[in-house]
Structure 1
Amino acid sequence: MTILNFGSCCIDNVYSVPHFARPGETLPCSSYEVHPGGKGLNQSIAIAASGVEVHHAGKVGNDGQWLIDLLKNRGVVTDELRVDEGPSGHANIQVTPDGENSIVLHGGSNQKITHDDVDTALRNDNYEFLLIQNEISSLDYLIEQAAARGMKIFFNAAPMTESVKSLPFELVDLLIINEVEGEALTGESEPDSILTKILGRFPKLNVVLTLGQDGARYADSEGFLSQSAIKVNAVDTTGAGDTFTGFFVAQYALGRPMAEVLELACRAAALSVTREGAASSIPTADEVAAKL
């Protein structure tokens, strides 16, 4: 069983600030650090950390070889990852004392994915599952081609943009979103209403709605399932969503019972917020089992 994650790789510039910068405000930071990031990179590391084989496809810029090296060192197969001219994608992240974050993203090489790149990555018939996020180009073509090859498609629809609404959701098997993304897709703000509306449009879809401090909910045609969040002292929430997604996708692909999948993903996300950084905060399955 092999997962192909066709996703982003980014360089994260992290600024520690007393509060998020307001319009017109010049705000000094108390510290500045550079970290690896991108939802794709983080989720690949999380899948590998959970003990499942994952291949990462995508592009980095001519400043991004260290991102490829990092993925390799964390157990991710990088044969489908290419180096492109120009800069890698990068994010400017403000982190407040209570661990909340605000992110501005530049796509860089992540937005240079072509149809040829998709065809090249999908030539391997051994991939059973495809994980994608909304940080690369050619998503519609990627979904269509993966579905034509019989792959099960997992879509983390983040960050949310207007273009997401026109993607072929009928070809997607599993959708993972948070409350903000769910409201943008449906116009609803209450979790059950979000899930009900999505399933009303796409009854064959399996949906996961992450709720931050309130845990997560799973829904399919047979009903809903809830998992409470694990209470911890948060230091940095930057990588929580990606940790949850990676662990969830890995265990879901293994066919574990949904209640176990939800609980393990929530536990992994909880442990990640007790550490600083995004990729660097992702725990291993053994750490999750030992500490929570």
Structure 2
Amino acid sequence: MKFLNFGSLNIDKVYTVPRFVKGGETLSSVSCAEYPGGKGLNQSIALARSGSQIFHAGKIGKDGLFLKKELASEGVCVEGIYENGLITGHAIIQVASTGENCILLYGGANKEITFEQIDKVLEDFNSDDFLVLQNEINCIDYLINAAHKKGLTIALNPSPISKSIKNLDFSKIDYLILNEIEGQDISGEKSPSKILGYLLSNYSNLKVVLTLGTNGAVYRDNVQEYKQEAYKVKVKDTTAAGDTFLGYFLSMVSQKSDIKLALSVATKAASFAVSRKGSSSSIPVLAEVLA
């Protein structure tokens, strides 16, 4: 089996700040750096570094060719990345002294995906394979419907959350991996137990992983539930933590690992990511996590 990540490709411009800038305020940054980014790119690198065979599809402009090279250097197949976008998606990221981040995102070429590109890419995948999606590209609903018809296992990370997410057909999704804020927005509930209860009562097909930051993560499907405590580390940058978790979790379950082990490994991998600065550069390799 193999993974197809039809996902975003961004140029991340990261500013280290003493605190987040307020409305109407001008704040000097401590430092500035530029990295390959986008939830799609980060998740593909996490899947690759966790040992999975991963194909990335998406779109960039000529200003983003280095993103394609970055993925290729990680062993990701990049034939599905089109280079005819007007301008590559990018993000302005503030990282505070606490390690927390806030992000201003511009979709760019990520929002120029076409039905023709989707149909062409999906020709090479079948019911043995996984499709990974985030909410940083367009045509998500078309992708879900097309992949479901072919029998792919579909994993959705509904981030960044938007009103359009609620219009998706969750009955065609296998894995829903989301954080508390996203869970609250979709369900209208506030507590983790009620968020999970809402999702499973309405969509019994779902396998839900709800990440809870410093409180770890919870997995629930229609027959079982597992909780995983967070590993305590010194937090430097949380930018790619969720993407790292997702990549490692899906990689483990695709290898038929039990859910408890998948949760543990994914949480350990995310703890490595938050202890380092950067986005994709902070994602650990499998040997580090297992050691």
TM-score, with structure 2 as normaliser: 0.98
User: Residue 64 of structure 1 aligns to a residue in which SS?
Assistant: helix
Spell out the pairing of 1:116-155 with structure 2 (5 A cutoff).
116-126=116-126, 128-155=129-156
Percentage of matched positions with identical amino acids: 46
d(CA) in 2 for partners of 1:27 and 1:75?
Answer: 39
Question: Could you tell me how far 1:86 is from its partner in structure 2?
Answer: 1.6
d(CA) in 2 for partners of 1:263 and 1:276?
Answer: 22
1:6 paired residue number: 6
The answer to whether structure 1 residue 267 and structure 2 residue 275 are counterparts is no
Question: Could you tell me how far 1:223 is from its partner in structure 2?
Answer: 2.7
Spell out the pairing of 1:108-119 with structure 2 (5 A cutoff).
108-119=108-119
Root mean square deviation, CA, Å? 0.8
2:41 paired residue number: 41
Equivalent residue letter for 1:283:
P
d(CA) in 2 for partners of 1:112 and 1:125?
Answer: 22
Superimposed CA distance per residue, residues 88-126 of structure 1 (whole angstroms, 9 cap, x where no aligned partner): 110000000110000010000000001111101101135
d(CA) in 1 for partners of 2:225 and 2:125?
Answer: 33
Question: Could you tell me how far 1:23 is from its partner in structure 2?
Answer: 1.0
Question: Could you tell me how far 1:5 is from its partner in structure 2?
Answer: 0.5
User: Residue 144 of structure 2 aligns to a residue in which SS?
Assistant: helix
Question: Could you tell me how far 1:60 is from its partner in structure 2?
Answer: 1.1
d(CA) in 2 for partners of 1:91 and 1:5?
Answer: 20
2:228 paired residue number: 227
Question: Which residues of structure 2 form unaligned runs of 5+?
Answer: none
d(CA) in 2 for partners of 1:13 and 1:178?
Answer: 24
The answer to whether structure 1 residue 164 and structure 2 residue 130 are counterparts is no
Equivalent residue letter for 1:176:
I
Equivalent residue letter for 2:136:
E
2:198 paired residue number: 197
User: Residue 62 of structure 2 aligns to a residue in which SS?
Assistant: coil
2:72 paired residue number: 72
Spell out the pairing of 1:202-281 with structure 2 (5 A cutoff).
202-281=203-282
User: Residue 63 of structure 2 aligns to a residue in which SS?
Assistant: coil
2:93 paired residue number: 93
Question: Could you tell me how far 1:204 is from its partner in structure 2?
Answer: 1.1
Question: Could you tell me how far 1:48 is from its partner in structure 2?
Answer: 0.4
d(CA) in 2 for partners of 1:255 and 1:105?
Answer: 35
d(CA) in 1 for partners of 2:6 and 2:239?
Answer: 21
Question: Could you tell me how far 1:187 is from its partner in structure 2?
Answer: 1.0
2:62 paired residue number: 62
2:289 paired residue number: 288
Question: Could you tell me how far 1:249 is from its partner in structure 2?
Answer: 1.1
Superimposed CA distance per residue, residues 199-252 of structure 1 (whole angstroms, 9 cap, x where no aligned partner): 011011110000011110000001321000011001111110000011111111
d(CA) in 2 for partners of 1:3 and 1:155?
Answer: 13
Residues 59 and 85, structure 2, Cα contact 8 Å, conserved in 1 = no
User: Residue 78 of structure 2 aligns to a residue in which SS?
Assistant: strand
User: Residue 63 of structure 1 aligns to a residue in which SS?
Assistant: helix
User: Residue 252 of structure 1 aligns to a residue in which SS?
Assistant: helix
TM-score, with structure 1 as normaliser: 0.98
Residues 85 and 112, structure 2, Cα contact 8 Å, conserved in 1 = no
Question: Which residues of structure 1 form unaligned runs of 5+?
Answer: none
Equivalent residue letter for 2:131:
L
Equivalent residue letter for 1:138:
C
d(CA) in 2 for partners of 1:6 and 1:283?
Answer: 22
Question: Could you tell me how far 1:62 is from its partner in structure 2?
Answer: 1.2
User: Residue 109 of structure 1 aligns to a residue in which SS?
Assistant: helix
d(CA) in 1 for partners of 2:248 and 2:92?
Answer: 25
User: Residue 176 of structure 1 aligns to a residue in which SS?
Assistant: strand
d(CA) in 1 for partners of 2:43 and 2:203?
Answer: 25
